[in-house]
Each structure stands twice: as C-alpha cells, then as structure tokens.
Structure 1
C-alpha cells in the first residue's frame, strides 16, 4: 500500500480537497485503485451538527455517515463509495481511546497523546486504507490522506505527529507528502510572494515532515524565478514545485497536474511501476484519462445558457450547497448548457448559479426592504428553473413557499430536495387543497400539520439521529406510463422499463403526513415513489406540469461528472427546453 499525505499552509480553504482528489484521478489513469481519507482536527464526532454557514455542507455516505464535504469531492472525482470511517475527527479518535481505557485495554498504563492517540490514528488509517471502495472488491493500491486545517494549528498537532511516525512505519518508498501553499500576489506590479510558503515549509520541517511536492496555489502561472526561489529556499527540486493556478473548472486540475509531470514524479518517488496492475486496469485507466480530458474540454466550450435559481437559506457560503451545485453542473454538461451566475445581496462569485436569499421573497420583507424584495422577485422571474434544496429551521420558509407557488402557477420547472419537497407539499395544501393553515410540525406547533416528525427520530439528541444513508424507494403501480422520474431512472441506470426501485441517500427528520396523501393525490400531486412500507413519501410529481418534482432523499450525493443524477438531469433538461432523447443522443 502506498500513502500520499496532503497538508496545507498559510490559510485554510486553499483547495487541498480538490488537489487531493486530482492526485487520485491521475493515479487512476495508470490503472491504480485509489481510496481517500479526510482528517478533520475538530472535537465533533462528525459533521452532522455543524452549521453549513460555518463549515460548508454536510455530505452523507451510503452507510449514513455525516462527513466533511471533501469526501463528496473524493467520491465524485474517483467514482468510489466511501464509509464514515474515511473521515477521521479528533472526537472519533479520543472517543475510541477513552473507551479502550475504560475497558482496561491499556493494562493500567498512563494514557497519553503519544503514543496512545498517535497510535490510534495510525491504526485507523491502516485499517481503513485496506477497505475496497469500488465494484471490483479488490483492496486499494494507494490511499490519499488529506489533513484538514493548516500546519501549525494546535488542533492538528497530534495528527502531524502521527504522520511523522507513520512515514517510518510504512517505509520511505511507501509514503509521500504533498504540501499545498498559497502564493499571494501583492503590489501594483502583481508580484508573487514566496515568503508565506517558505515559512510554512520551515514549520512543517520543524515538525518532522519534509514535502516531496509543493503545490503553489496562485491566481496565474507561477513565474520561473518564483519557482526557482521556492525550490532553493524550501530545499526541493524545481520539478517538485507545482503551479496550481486558477482554472476555468475543477475538471481541469488533474490535467494541469499531469502537464507538470506530477504523475511521472510520483511513479519514481513511490516506485509505482513495481506494483502489479492488470491489463483490464490499464485499459480502464486509459479510458478515465480520455473521459476526463473530454469533460474538461466540453466544460470550457459551453456557451449557451440556462438560468437556475436556487432559493435557500445558507446563501452566504456557496459550499453550503456544494453537492447541489456540482449535480447541476454535471447535468448541464450533459445537456451542453452553461449555468449562469449572478449574486444577490452577497459577494460576487465567478460561478454558475443565481443565488436568492429565501427571506427576501417573503411578503413581510417587502415592507422592511422593498428594493431587496423587488430584486429577489426579478431574479425569480428570470428563472428557467427553480430549485429549493434541503435545510433546517423556519427562517426564510415563507419565501421558499412563495417560490414553489411561483413555479407551480407559472409552469416553471421545479425541483425540491428534502425540505424542498415538504415546502411544495405545504404550498399545494394551502393553495390547491384549501388547507389555509397547513404547515410543518417543524415550523409551527398549531395548525394542520401536513409535514410531521418521524416517530422513530429522537427529539432530544441531534447527532446521528436522523434518517440517514442509502435506502430504497419503491415506484408505485400505475406510474409506468406517465412518471417522468421513473423514466429518468430507467434511462440513467440503463435498465429495462419497469424499474421497481432505486437506492438513494437520505438525511431528514420530517416527512409528509400519510393522513393527507389521498387529499394530495386527489388534487393531482402524486407520490410516485414510497419506502418499503408504502407509508413514507419519497418522490412527488405534479401531473400536468412541465416538470414539478420533489424528492425526500438527496439525489445530489450520488451525482457524478460522467453520470448525472436522474432527477437533476430531468430538471435541467426541462429548464433548458430540451427533450431527454435529444440530450442522450448527443
């Protein structure tokens, strides 16, 4: 087993996750099987109780693990299925060590950070790195370990020490370190500054780790003199200094690294050519390289626009909806359309969504700030498609309900995910079924609760108590001929007509109240997919509408660049005014 550690310096959020994922893609192009581990040095057991505004989205895995969003990057880039154990946190490690101490496993010894915590970290990595992550059932060849935060953080100290020991545990030829550092540009002439990188490398060496690669994040290509300076003062060869400049899309990063000889360097440094790689693996690797190159080229050529309006509550941080954004990208690529970007009432982004703060759409906001309300309504009016993603709490709920009503009445394609399905059900109950006080048990104690808390979910403990992970959705009888969602799954999963169920990942506490299902369906809002019991509503479709779909699960988690999520693809196809058949033939 080969291990590549990816660390970061100067600032957090520098792009270590994309860099680590891109290294994995490169290794897969030569036929190697790759797995990944993310280390998050916070005391939380997992990411489940953390605010999306502070930490970005919570990504959910097949086994129900609530993990850091970088594991979503790994799954999308590497096309693998990870587990909760692929995300290590300080909380998990300390919990494990304390449990062992309580059982008496340490035989009366004083339990300390070194060696007990550091040993636990190393043992965890070795155990998880050997778990198969793809359909082959074979053990991975390479494990990429991303260390969250920045070198020098007090929280990261035990993990850095564990990695210092780990390099000797597995041997020099089996361990490489790539350090990602910022090269800022200052002054009127745009000079690239190397001092932050020199400082972070010096600190890294003082902790016992020497980088094999220095990945310099910069807004433009690293100047030759700057590369030479970093090479000289950081004690690495010039070919070990990599320019990771800003590129049009993350799909370009693996190709950017390949152009600079990163793969050739790793082959020599880790003696990869001595590893047994079957002919089938080599052929598959060549196919991955061709597919990834085509993907990047097609993304760069997109010009014809489609405007999607996302109505959410965590719009201050784009990473709050990272998987949703990526799923839209994947589907737009398949449709040959470019998502348009404009930012409302927040900072400007160079990307592909039109962001609206849901609270700005509420009628009460019109009285408080008429200009923001008008701007939000103008944005909503410009939409080719409206998407309401998941979320918690009642802030902005009435704005989301207004967006769902607009989409329904104006015949604009609508996709509701998790809370987005519940919002659409509330709106339909109020304005079509005549239940004017319809609401969710989450938002209001009194009234008609068309959305209720699931009986098996804890109302006192938050961490890991929701309905989590992959679960089946059963398509209902009589939907074969007309259900758009069912047809989409049949086409995207390459199965014959008559698909009975699909597997998707869930993360929710509330559900549609089964008592009102017959009322909804009598008025045209049909639940074409349900769980195994038939009592839990999973997929909602509005008959007679171009595309009005809600899913209680989160289809964005399983979307891949080369295989878009079925509901997202249907949504973008409808928003772009295309036919599914024409998209699939292109």
Structure 2
C-alpha cells in the first residue's frame, strides 16, 4: 500500500434507471486519480446468478469481455482497462453466482462449524472479503498495491438482487474507516414538459432509498441532457444533504472521452482529495510526472475527437448489430485507431443475414440497402460471433472485399469465413464450410479444436492471452500486419473460440495466395493470423485484438484497417506520418 496506508475505496451506485452510465463515471474517476500519479484498480459487481458473463447473449447483456487470464466478464471491465491502462483479472468481476458458490463450497467443507449459513453475515462477509482482497492485490501498473479501488455496484438501488451487495457495502464503510470510503451516486435529472424543465425529484427519491439502506452519498453525479439550470445544483444539495461542490452535472458532451475533462473542470479531483485525504499518500515524483503526461495526452486525444476531421466509413458486418453494445470493444478499437490517424470513423452497421439471397426473396429493400452500404464503405470488418445465422452473408462480405480490393479485417469468425470463402472461390472447393455449422460438410475448412470440452458451455473455450509467433517465411517477415506490430517476432493477444482453421488445408490455401503469417507457439499448427497477398489490406486474426485497444495505444490490426481505408497505409509504413500534421504523438 502506498506510504503504508490502507487502500481507499470509491463505491459507485446508480439510481432511477439502469444503464445510466455508472461504468463511464467510474472509469473517468479512475482516470482522474491516475493523472495524480495514484495506482488505481476497479471491481464490477454484477448481481446476476450466472458465474460469469460467458454464457450470456450479446443481444441481452452486451459484449462478453475477455481478460488475460481467460475470465469472461462484463463489458464495463473493458472500459476500466481502456481508461486506466491496467490488466484486470477474473476476480475483478464479482457476481452473485461466484459469491454463493464460494459460500456453499465452504459450507460443504464444514468451514462454518455447524452454524446456520445466512445472507447476513455469511454472504455479506464474503463480498467484503473479496473486495478487500482484490483492492489490496498489486496491479500491473508499476506492480504497486492500489492506492484506490473503484467498485461499481451493478443494477439500480432498490433492486431485490442488489440488496446483499448494498448491505455488504454498508458494513464495509465501517470496516475500512471513514477516510477510506467514498460513495458516488449516479442519478438522473430528466427534462419534463413542453418548457423543458429539469426535475430533481427522481434523484431525491433515489438518494432517500439509498439512505434508507444505510448508505449516504458523498458525491452526486447527475446525468442530464443539458448542463444544470440555475438553482438545480443548490436544490439537489439541500434535499440530498450534500455540499453544492459535491453535486456534478454530467451532461451530454462531444464524446465519452470528454467526461473526465468535464468532471475535472467541476472540481472532482479537489472533492476526492479532501474526502479521502489523498494528499497524505506518498507518490514517487516520477510517477506523478507520468500522471501529468497522461492528462496532457488524454486532453489532446479528446480534442481530436471534437475536431472536424475527414470521415472514413467502415462497414461492420455482424450478427448482433441491433445492439451496438454487443460490439462495444470493436467500436472503441475503431474510434481509437481513427483518432490516432487523424480521422473520424463512421460505422455502417450491416446485419449479415441481410446480404444473403434469402433476404432478397423476403425483403428486397433490406437486401439492396445492405449491399448499398457495403459497396459504399471504405473498409469492411467482420467481427466474432456464434451460430449459423448470417454466416453466408459474412462469406459474401469477405468475397466482396477480396475481389474488389476493399480493406478487410476479420476477427475470430471473421477469419474463419474468409478462409471458407477463399477455399470455395479460389481453391475450387464449393463444399467448403465450418464444422460448427455443417458437421459432415465435404470440405471442413474450419474444425472443432480437439482439446475443447463439448459437454459444458461456461468457460470451456480457448480463452485468454496466448502468444502468436510470426512465421519465418519471406512473405511473413515482410507482411503488413507484422510491420504494424512493430516487426516483432511474437505478439500476445486474447482469444475466445472453440473452432480453428483446418491445418490439413493450409498448404493448399497458402499456395493459392492466402498466407498464415502467424501461428500459435505451443504447436505451430493453429492458424492465428492470415494475410492475403497482392491486396491493399486483407488481414484476419483468430484472436480478438479489440480487447487490448487503448485510447492512447490503438490495436495494430485496427490501425492498419483505418490507415488502408483512409489511403494512408503506404505512407505510414514508409515512416511519413499520417493525417494533417499530428501535433502530439499519442503513445504511453
């Protein structure tokens, strides 16, 4: 612990409605603390009974985010990693299922010595022990014990399933002490009526409910479409029993990257410093300097987001396009790459099944609109997914990109459909398919990995960080994707898949021009990265590079896609720079 002090805890709760933005407030607060040189970690508490997010549908819960250790977690942990530039573990995501399993396992072993096991104190104690254990575990950031741990309470105050966690935090404030516990309550100030008057009653009611459960907010972060009208901050202060300086207007702004700037302008750092006595922490001068540099770079990054930059259109051909949160890391990776090459990205969402002939028969308008969007795009991205729906549409997207020399990036399933398409169209194997969808197909271009458990679903895929080695061949050594990675010999990226490219077809595919430039280090037989020869940019990866994107450090495959789609790739690889005079290089 920094200076021998106990880790300080910031709890972020939400009221009025779900999806109000607790994750962004938590991430932004953590970023501001990092700019002071503090070491920050985060915990997300999800009150569902699932052990983890791995079996949840993206259309129901949004993206499943994968960590280095293979943990399948809530998408908010992706926000924490991106904003805080830390590597989290599966223990940074607490679910009701994890807590109850831990307590029941202890009961079965006899750890409770015959006592009646109850929600209070056994479940609530387990939650507190978990939070304190993670909060005192050294992070990847300098290997230091966290100065601050930010805990986001999922759900909304008043939810039945959240009650044990609220009670646990009520007790936890006394366990760690007043100076080490701060509660930020995120609420809504809606605009009602024809005159557009901001209403404070929902926030008042939410705070009243929270107080009734034994927790009092130290900071109110109020979401609204517009900045506070005159008198709103004072009214909230009076009825919610907090100082006016502790009430923050988190109104809509140019982008989410401006939220930390908005909070800092309103004095968030001063409030947290006073409330948690942060000035007492002893931070090495060189780390304080790093924090100052981070803030300067973040402000530059946000400034670019607000500038009138040239626009590049990327068609995302997927299966879950009706809910953008299903691909939130892909969206962020595209944004990060675009802003780092001085462009704005416009995402053209295309439901893959709308590209198929069956849609032409049922709904010609949808079919023609989908193809019109794809034909107009500067680049095409096919992300990961499971199940057969839309796969033929993805194959058609890969075919269009290959034949019309449109920059293409395939991720996981996007790599597999590129292989299927190439085997069919170039290698003369019309029966090529994936064993996932056609188990007895004539040419299994994609097969089930032999070590994967077929009997259960949760946590049985090839998960987490794995090393890919670039091949020692003339094409691989000179490949575009290897150059984008800095001409290294190996890269470590995160995986989430059960199927792989059939190694028996590799020689024939490579002879026809589809090169597998990266393979796994364990066997050398698992295809990880492909690149098509004689194409402006046709790259695909079995892993998910979007999981490691950072605002100030974009993912190389995404960077290549944006560079190629905006006509800057050759100049970039030649060391000539990008965009219209980049004033500050955004690297850490």
With the length of structure 2 as denominator, give the TM-score of the two structures.
0.95
- What is the match of residue 559 of structure 1? 549
- What is the match of residue 441 of structure 1? 435
- What is the match of residue 450 of structure 1? 445
Q: Are positions 1:403 and 2:397 aligned together?
A: yes
- What is the match of residue 89 of structure 1? 95
SS at match of 2:99: helix
CA distance in 1: counterparts of 2:396 and 2:187, whole angstroms: 45
CA distance in 2: counterparts of 1:244 and 1:83, whole angstroms: 29
Please show how residues 74-85 of structure 1 align to structure 2 within 5 Å: 74-85=80-91
Please show how residues 216-227 of structure 1 align to structure 2 within 5 Å: 216-227=222-233
CA distance in 1: counterparts of 2:457 and 2:17, whole angstroms: 31
Q: Pick the aligned partner of 2:472 from 477, 495, 498.
A: 477
Please show how residues 26-175 of structure 1 align to structure 2 within 5 Å: 26-175=32-181
- What is the match of residue 3 of structure 2? none
Greater shift, 576-585 or 94-103, is seen at 576-585
CA distance in 2: counterparts of 1:354 and 1:10, whole angstroms: 33
Q: Pick the aligned partner of 1:422 from 416, 421, 438.
A: 416
Greater shift, 148-157 or 445-454, is seen at 445-454
Q: Pick the aligned partner of 1:274 from 273, 280, 291.
A: 280
CA distance in 2: counterparts of 1:380 and 1:393, whole angstroms: 22
- What is the match of residue 180 of structure 1? 186
Q: How far does the alpha carbon of each residue in 1:205-258 deviate from its partner, in whole angstroms, 9 at most, with x for none?
A: 000000000100001101121211111111111111100001111110011000
Deviation at 1:189, TM superposition (A): 1.1
- What is the match of residue 346 of structure 1? none
SS at match of 1:307: strand
SS at match of 1:127: helix
**1:133–1:140 Cα contact (<8 Å) kept:** yes
Q: Pick the aligned partner of 1:213 from 196, 205, 219.
A: 219
- What is the match of residue 383 of structure 2? 389
SS at match of 1:214: strand
- What is the match of residue 513 of structure 1? 502
Corresponding residue pairs, total? 567
SS at match of 1:415: strand
SS at match of 1:399: helix
Please show how residues 192-271 of structure 1 align to structure 2 within 5 Å: 192-271=198-277
SS at match of 2:457: coil
SS at match of 2:51: coil
Deviation at 1:77, TM superposition (A): 0.2
Deviation at 1:190, TM superposition (A): 0.9
Deviation at 1:131, TM superposition (A): 1.7
CA distance in 2: counterparts of 1:459 and 1:187, whole angstroms: 56
**1:302–1:336 Cα contact (<8 Å) kept:** no
Deviation at 1:480, TM superposition (A): 5.0
CA distance in 2: counterparts of 1:534 and 1:281, whole angstroms: 40
Give 5+ residue unaligned stretches, structure 2: 1-6, 583-588
CA distance in 2: counterparts of 1:255 and 1:582, whole angstroms: 32
Question: Residue 583 and residue 460 in structure 1: after superposition, are their counterparts in 2 closer, same or farther (change >3 A)?
Answer: farther
- What is the match of residue 343 of structure 1? none
**2:470–2:477 Cα contact (<8 Å) kept:** no
Q: How far does the alpha carbon of each residue in 1:271-294 deviate from its partner, in whole angstroms, 9 at most, with x for none?
A: 000111111121111111111111
CA distance in 2: counterparts of 1:131 and 1:561, whole angstroms: 25
Greater shift, 47-56 or 230-239, is seen at 230-239
**1:416–1:424 Cα contact (<8 Å) kept:** yes
Greater shift, 273-282 or 385-394, is seen at 273-282
Q: Pick the aligned partner of 1:528 from 503, 512, 517.
A: 517
CA distance in 2: counterparts of 1:31 and 1:536, whole angstroms: 42
Question: Residue 508 and residue 583 in structure 1: after superposition, are their counterparts in 2 closer, same or farther (change >3 A)?
Answer: farther
Q: Are positions 1:373 and 2:390 aligned together?
A: no
Deviation at 1:135, TM superposition (A): 4.3
- What is the match of residue 544 of structure 1? 534
**2:100–2:123 Cα contact (<8 Å) kept:** yes
Q: How far does the alpha carbon of each residue in 1:300-349 deviate from its partner, in whole angstroms, 9 at most, with x for none?
A: 11420100000001011110000000000010001101112xxxxxxxxx
Q: Are positions 1:468 and 2:468 aligned together?
A: no
- What is the match of residue 487 of structure 1? 483
Q: How far does the alpha carbon of each residue in 1:32-55 deviate from its partner, in whole angstroms, 9 at most, with x for none?
A: 100000000000000000000110
CA distance in 2: counterparts of 1:195 and 1:135, whole angstroms: 41
SS at match of 2:131: helix
CA distance in 2: counterparts of 1:556 and 1:161, whole angstroms: 36
- What is the match of residue 293 of structure 2? 287
CA distance in 2: counterparts of 1:472 and 1:34, whole angstroms: 27
CA distance in 1: counterparts of 2:369 and 2:15, whole angstroms: 40
**1:178–1:215 Cα contact (<8 Å) kept:** yes
**2:39–2:141 Cα contact (<8 Å) kept:** no
CA distance in 2: counterparts of 1:455 and 1:224, whole angstroms: 65
Deviation at 1:127, TM superposition (A): 0.5
Question: Residue 132 and residue 179 in structure 1: after superposition, are their counterparts in 2 closer, same or farther (change >3 A)?
Answer: same
CA distance in 1: counterparts of 2:188 and 2:449, whole angstroms: 46
Give 5+ residue unaligned stretches, structure 1: 341-352, 491-496
**1:441–1:451 Cα contact (<8 Å) kept:** yes
With the length of structure 1 as denominator, give the TM-score of the two structures.
0.96
CA distance in 1: counterparts of 2:454 and 2:135, whole angstroms: 36
